[in-house]
Chain A
Amino acid sequence: MTKKTRTIKVDYLARVEGEGALYIKIKDDVVQDVKLKIFEPPRFFEAFLQGRDFREAPDITARICGICPVAYQMSAIHAMENALGIQLDGPLREIRRLMYCGEWIESHVLHIYMLHAPDFLGYEDAVRMAKDHKGIVERGLQLKKVGNEIVSLIGGREIHPINARVGGFYKVFAKPELDGLKERLKWARDAALETVRWTAQLPFPEFEQDYEFVALSHPEEYAFNEGRLVSNRGLDIAVADYENHFVEEHVEHSNALHSVLKERDSYFVGPMARYNLNFDQLSPLAQEAALEAGLGRECTNPFKSIVVRSVEVLYACDEALRILESYEKPERPYVDLEPRKSTGYACTEAPRGILYHRYSMDSEGKIVTARIVPPTSQNQKTIENDLWKFVPKFLDLPEEKLTWQCEQAIRNYDPCISCATHFLKLDLERV
């Protein structure tokens, strides 16, 4: 075969939240370079927060992402409470968990049905998929809506949720006010179970990899809001130690930073990590559905993340119902906190993985420094690694198909690039 020089160029990365850029160079059928570019980490927000009152951080950071505002809000709230030395329990803690269930449902279902499934079924997008699979798309839309309803009811019906605050909530609800969600969630739980079964029979390429998975782990629950940071390679640290173990490296091709584990290298956060590390804490129904779907207790094929995400939707429905069954209205909506000179840390499990916040405030409660590490920047290096290994398997494909395969491999991570950037382009180049 004569050696060829080919160039593939795609202008933007479709169907990831935000816009991404990927550059792959292939020479003589050997991958020469893989660069996932992210141009703007949330540095604007870190600077914007300086000098603001500590109570403003949840509302401001909620605006970083239109898809996972609750995650930003929760990480900010927990970091501030950590700084001021309080930890909420009882119903207030439960309502936060309920709200997070809503966001997981919304975000995961959006990705499963609207962004990722078309890849597996061979459609360019959900609009085209809907023409042949109307019932399935309708189910996805209805299921996502249940997540929306939870977040809107508890978080407030605004452009971003506004009801959560440092110390609790502005408004809390009497039990009957939340009862309407139960019937909806029972339907959603059935739909989520069907979603697990539906995604399980999609065609998956063989692509088992050896990853270091990192997630929060809590002794009593499938961790959302608190816990220790653990991995399958022995990491077990308090969240406050995050920056002693994880570093953000500058990479030449991107204004963004690659987050790596100091002791080792790249790592993997998100549904796959949580599933592999915390399987035992999924509800019995979610565990059973996962096993029935053929996932096993461990899953190392990122293409199957669509099934894992479906299992987490099922879990979130189950968990939301559990919370609603035992819910009692909190005695007071929030605990008032007096600022003091302090530093606080938090990680919560955003739908896409751990979202780290650190804040220092002065004695008046003015924010002195803020640090935000979104899950997508943590997965970036792992995505690049996947592509290094994945592309050589598909070199015989025509350019368009190969590009699509690469995009699908990136979408395995549900990268919320809008958290980290705005404009991104995709270039796949063969020389």
Chain B
Amino acid sequence: MNETPVLVIGLGNEFRRDDFAGVEAVRRLKKNNAGVKILELSGEGTSLMDAWEGCDRVILIDAVNSSAAPGTFRRLDVGKTPVPANYFSCSTHNFGVAEAIELSRSLDRLPDQIELYGIEGKDFSPGEGLSAEVEEAVGRVVEEIQKRFQSP
């Protein structure tokens, strides 16, 4: 079992369809009592930096648009490796997640352990509801995080 408390931050906008994936994921983690601290944010970068201040172990979940198949997700160890260029090219926010991570790295303010679950979105148009592919991916991400951090 992992001793360090984990903060899971879900990012997104519920009125941008698949952009909501990260927030939906942390809501499910909360509902399932996954034993992690959760937070919902819009994705504005400097607020994100404030949110993880003082946390040693952080997991971010966000929708991405990197030309992969919708619903695929990747877990990136962004504490060690920079966020791939254009990973968030559809983001509604411009000082966003990638910038927050890289600026924190420059300023030596990155949490000791920080990972990003990037869920490939399909539809970012104004509206509500996740596409079927992303809905399914959110389920898998939630399951994976629960397995990793469940008390024995």
Seen from chain A, the residues whose Cβ lies within 8 Å of a Cβ on chain B are 12, 14-19, 40, 42-45, 48, 63-64, 66-67, 110, 114-115, 125-127, 130-131, 134, 137-138, 141, 144-145, 148, 158-160, 418, 422-423
Which residues of B are found within 8 Å of A145, using beta-carbon distances?
46, 50
Do the beta carbons of A127 and B127 come within 8 Å of each other? no
Main secondary structure on B side of the interface with A: loop
Do the beta carbons of A127 and B14 come within 8 Å of each other? no
Q: How many residues of B contact A (CB 8 A)?
A: 31
11 contacts between A and B (CB under 8 A): A15-B95, A17-B94, A66-B92, A66-B93, A114-B46, A127-B106, A131-B106, A144-B46, A148-B50, A159-B42, A418-B93
Write the B106-141 contact mask toward A (1 if CB under 8 angstroms, else 0): 110000000000000000111100000000000000
Do the beta carbons of A126 and B42 come within 8 Å of each other? no
Which residues of A are found within 8 Å of B91, using beta-carbon distances?
19
Q: Contacts A63-B15, A158-B40 hold; do A40 and B126 have CB atoms under 8 A apart? A: yes
Which residues of B are found within 8 Å of A64, using beta-carbon distances?
15
Instruction: Decide if B41 is an interface residue (CB 8 Å cutoff).
Output: yes
Number of A-B residue pairs, CB cutoff 8 Å, is 87
Do the beta carbons of B99 and A148 come within 8 Å of each other? no
Do the beta carbons of A130 and B103 come within 8 Å of each other? yes
Q: A254 CA to B125 CA in the complex, in Å? A: 16
Name which residue of chain B comes closest to A159, CB basis.
Answer: B40
Instruction: Decide if B143 is an interface residue (CB 8 Å cutoff).
Output: no
Name which residue of chain B comes closest to A130, CB basis.
Answer: B106
Q: A42 CA to B15 CA in the complex, in Å? A: 11
Name which residue of chain B comes closest to A66, CB basis.
Answer: B42
Q: Contacts A44-B15, A422-B126 hold; do A137 and B40 have CB atoms under 8 A apart? A: no
Instruction: Decide if B16 is an interface residue (CB 8 Å cutoff).
Output: yes
Which residues of A are found within 8 Å of B107, using beta-carbon distances?
130, 134, 137-138
Do the beta carbons of B43 and A66 come within 8 Å of each other? yes
Q: A44-B127, A63-B15 are in contact. List 16 more A-B contacts (CB 8 A).
A: A12-B89, A15-B94, A17-B94, A18-B94, A19-B91, A19-B92, A40-B126, A44-B15, A45-B126, A66-B13, A67-B44, A126-B103, A134-B107, A137-B103, A159-B42, A160-B42
Q: A66 CA to B95 CA in the complex, in Å? A: 11
Among B91, B102, B106, max chain A CB count under 10 A is at: B106
Seen from chain B, the residues whose Cβ lies within 8 Å of a Cβ on chain A are 13-16, 23, 40-47, 49-50, 89-95, 99, 102-103, 106-107, 124-127
Do the beta carbons of A422 and B124 come within 8 Å of each other? yes
The 10 closest A-B pairs by CB, nearest first: A66-B42, A44-B126, A418-B92, A159-B40, A130-B106, A127-B102, A114-B95, A66-B44, A127-B103, A144-B46
Do the beta carbons of A159 and B93 come within 8 Å of each other? no
> Which one, B14, B49, B94, B102, contacts A63 given CB within 8 A?
B14
Name which residue of chain B comes closest to A107, CB basis.
Answer: B44
> Which one, B41, B45, B106, contacts A114 given CB within 8 A?
B45
Minimum distance in angstroms from B104 CB to a CB of chain A: 9
Which residues of B are found within 8 Å of A43, using beta-carbon distances?
126
Name which residue of chain A comes closest to B92, CB basis.
Answer: A418
> Which one, B16, B40, B42, B94, contacts A422 given CB within 8 A?
B16
Q: A288 CA to B61 CA in the complex, in Å? A: 46
Name which residue of chain B comes closest to A15, CB basis.
Answer: B94
Do the beta carbons of A141 and B49 come within 8 Å of each other? yes
> Which one, B40, B41, B95, B126, contacts A110 given CB within 8 A?
B95
Q: A390 CA to B126 CA in the complex, in Å? A: 34
Do the beta carbons of B93 and A126 come within 8 Å of each other? no
Name which residue of chain B comes closest to A140, CB basis.
Answer: B46
Name which residue of chain A comes closest to B99, CB basis.
Answer: A127
Do the beta carbons of A110 and B46 come within 8 Å of each other? yes
Minimum distance in angstroms from A118 CB to a CB of chain B: 11
Q: A15 CA to B103 CA in the complex, in Å? A: 14
Do the beta carbons of A18 and B45 come within 8 Å of each other? no
Which residues of B are found within 8 Å of A14, using beta-carbon distances?
94
Among B89, B94, B106, max chain A CB count under 10 A is at: B94
Q: A66 CA to B124 CA in the complex, in Å? A: 15
Which residues of B are found within 8 Å of A148, using beta-carbon distances?
46-47, 50
Q: A43 CA to B46 CA in the complex, in Å? A: 29
Which residues of A are found within 8 Å of B93, using beta-carbon distances?
17-18, 66-67, 418
Q: A66 CA to B41 CA in the complex, in Å? A: 9
Q: A151 CA to B66 CA in the complex, in Å? A: 33
